Chain A
Amino acid sequence: MEQSSKYESCREVIVLKDVSRIYQVGDETLRALDHASLTIREGEFVSIIGPSGSGKSTLMNIIGLLDMADEGEYYLDGLEIRNYSEHQLAKVRNQKIGFVFQNFNLISRMDARSNVELPLIYQRVPAAERKKRVQEALDRVGLAGRADHKPSELSGGQQQRVAIARAIVTRPSLFLADEPTGNLDSKTGEEIMELFHELHHAGNTIVLITHDPGVAAQAERRIHISDGHVTEVE
């Protein structure tokens, strides 16, 4: 069932077992995620695809430790994420996950360099090493010349590159991208996808959430989700 990849190893980066997320809306109980189970191994490039309202955002929030499951088990990089304190969650997010969002989510007051530097500051990396790693990350996304520009002075594609640099800079176990091409024209979107392919070829684990079958198809493996159920694991 699973495609094999030469980059794939046995190590499981994400293991979800019967995970549910339950919302109480008035008298109704809404299962945004209903007994979802999936496994993603190190080095895989997986897309999660589903229509809006299918629960894919909830899934991504749980995988990204921005939200907590109400039921089930979740292991991230071997850590059992349960009863983690806010402080511990922040630390795990900081060290293990590189987020790339649809609307880039850069801090508008700060230039590209400072945006990329921010997660390293939270990791308490010394200034000299920060500088070096920020430069490397910006080089890798092809934005070294734009380090002093603020997000408002950059195009959408460039902003997304800054966001990817910010994800790269911490060398995370997992890249978690939520509709990274959703706000970009198709040509720029392709360029961004090209960056993800490069990251994948370098051995990184990538989870990409999208509603666009064209984008989803570029992944090694697709996980379909609808009505809170993981219906299909290709």
Chain B
Amino acid sequence: MFLQSVKMAWESIRSNKMRSILTMLGIIIGVFSLVVLVSLVSSATHSISNEVSGLGSSSLQVQIMDDKDNPLSLEELLEFEGQGDIGLVAPLTTRTMGVKYGSKSENSAVYGSTPEYQKVQDVTLSCGRFLKESDQYNHTSVAVVSKDVVTSIMKMQNVEEALGKELHINGQNFTVVGVMAKKDSTSSLFSQADYTVVVPYTTLTRMSGVSREILSFAVSAKDGDLSSAQKTTGDLLMKRLEQDKKAFYILNFNSVMDALNSVMATMSLVLGGVAGISLLVGGIGIMNIMLVSVTERTKEIGIRKAIGADRRVIMQQFLIEALMISLIGCGIGVGISWGALRVAGIFFKTFPIRLSPGVVVLSIAFSMGIGLIFGIYPANKAAKKKPIDALRYNG
């Protein structure tokens, strides 16, 4: 019976093609705007949060703005390790320096740090090794470089070629001992080259123009609980910096991500809401046409009732018809969205654009709901018709 109703609904939709398509148009446009807008926002969110997590979401970045003329030393900093929820600590003393290989020179971010840097900043190596404790003691002139340094400054295709080569940094020679892998999450959003060089903290602070004070460092959490590590770090720094909470700043990428995600979620909701309204308008269009169709088919309803259709069967037939119109419209809308997003992906390279499966499920559910809600009134109107009145109707 259900299958027969589906068949009848399909025949009725088909026998009035133009009208059916115009009715679907409202749903098609509604679903299209819903799927495209929400997919764009979610694609953007996805790539931005990838970027942010690429910056080190597993660690806290601490900046000291005012050291009260009593700079933090490396020894003091290392005492932070293991306190409360703090895991490891790595200094992030940075200078922008010219890094030269052969005739090519580029300004790069040169970090003076410790072997802990690798764990705190979650660095993976393509080849070679990271800094060692002995480099720290001996002030060795070794450097771990990013992949872009190898490819763009050293002009080498194979990262392993770089190992053992000498870089000139600020007039001093450094031997390349390791190459850091690019984080796989890094997309083209921040597409400028990443020139990063990590050298031993003790070596960097011996260079001219670099003081030994630590104004910047990274902290990892013991059990991945960054907010509690943030609290411990804050307490320690308050004690150290004369209870001046403006003297330092702790950046927790997790809370940045949370804020970002909530902004994006709000955006999705607003855009989705606007699209939802157009879907609602589409639903009213369905109701309108279904009401016309019920009136037009008064006689048919009378005939069906005379030969044995009861209310339920008539109701079912019209409801399925409304449902089919909205679902076919939804299918077409999703199809067009998929195509449009593919085309947009070809021309718009800043971040990858993909159809968000969640919004497809949502729009199918929403269309079904709309088909049902706006189909019930006309279907009920059809079902309520008395057979003699309907048979007498001459429309």
Contacts and interface: CB of A to CB of B under 8 A. Distances in A.
- Chain B contact residues, majority secondary structure: helix
Nearest to A176: B306
Contacts of A95: 308
A91 B310 contact: yes
Contact of A86 (B12, B299, B311): B311
Contact of A94 (B300, B303, B307, B312): B307
B303 A106 contact: yes
Nearest to B308: A94
A122 B308 contact: yes
A109 B306 contact: no
Contacts, number: 60
12 contacts: A66-B306, A66-B387, A90-B305, A90-B308, A90-B309, A93-B307, A94-B307, A94-B309, A99-B307, A101-B391, A105-B299, A122-B307
B305 to A, nearest CB: 7
Contacts of B192: none
B307 A66 contact: no
A107 B307 CA distance: 12
A123 interface: yes
A118 B304 CA distance: 8
Interface of B: 1, 4, 11-12, 15, 299-300, 302-313, 387-388, 391
Interface in A176-233: none
B312 A67 contact: no
A63 to B, nearest CB: 12
A94 B309 CA distance: 8
A107 B303 contact: yes
Interface string A79-94: 0000000110011011
A94 B305 CA distance: 9
A33 to B, nearest CB: 14
A95 B308 CA distance: 8
Given A105-B391, A109-B15, A110-B11, A123 B300 contact: no
A110 B7 CA distance: 12
A22 interface: no
Interface in A113-138: 118-119, 121-124
Contacts of B312: 87
Contact of A66 (B12, B311, B388): B388
A56 interface: no
Contacts of A121: 1, 4
B197 to A, nearest CB: 77
A90 B305 CA distance: 7
Contacts of B388: 61, 66-67
Contacts of A119: 307-308
* In the complex, the 7 A-B pairs of residues with the closest C-beta atoms, listed nearest first: A94-B308, A90-B310, A122-B308, A119-B307, A87-B310, A66-B388, A66-B387
A65 to B, nearest CB: 9
Contacts of B12: 109
A137 to B, nearest CB: 13
A67 B305 CA distance: 12
